[in-house]
Amino acid sequence: MAIKKIAFIVKSLPYKTEASRLALTHAIASQTVEIYLEDGDNVEPVLAFIGDGVLNCLKDQKAMNAYGVTSLEQHLKNSLLLDLKVLICKEDIGKFSLSEDSLIMDAEDIGGETKANIVPFSEIMKEMESANHLMFF
């Protein structure tokens, strides 16, 4: 029986490329990985937004209106609904003068109980150091 931690680090802008969407969908895929693994084995995902990537966490995204696609907000809320650990870099939201109020911090509107956490980069580094594998998007 083993648990392997995978850290999904999102540093890409939303919508400019597919990268951050793929980060979220791959992280969410951790919820069904057990079908390929031995009993008791599993993957523990951690999703962290750093640099430009923190802009993926902005509230009230209008992707369906603008592009006709699901928003990254919806994917992020699905991640919280599935109890994924979500970290947002404190220093980087400061660089964009963003406040907690402007960010997606929970998924209460769809029944989620887990909240995102704004943390110093040093805490994200600790998560990366303790992860078995790192995936940068």
Partner 1 sequence: MAKLTIGVFSSLVGSLSLDFAVKLADAAVKKGHSVDFWVSGNATMLSKKEQRAFKDYSALQKTLQELMKTGNFQATACEACAEARGYHKEDTMEGFQRHSMDWYLASGFSADRVLHIGGD
Least Cα distance to 43 among 54, 55, 51, 31 occurs for 31
4 lines the binding site for partner 1 (CB under 8 A): yes
83 lines the binding site for partner 1 (CB under 8 A): no
d(CA 53, CA 92): 9
110 lines the binding site for partner 1 (CB under 8 A): no
Residues between 17 and 76 that touch partner 1 (CB under 8 A):
17-19, 22, 25-26, 29-33, 35-37, 41, 43
Q: Rounded to the nearest whole angstrom, what is the least distance from the CB of residue 12 to partner 1 in the complex?
A: 8
Tell me the one-letter amino acid at 79.
Answer: S
1 lines the binding site for partner 1 (CB under 8 A): no
Least Cα distance to 96 among 47, 137, 48, 58 occurs for 58
Q: Rounded to the nearest whole angstrom, what is the least distance from the CB of residue 119 to partner 1 in the complex?
A: 23
30 three-class SS: helix
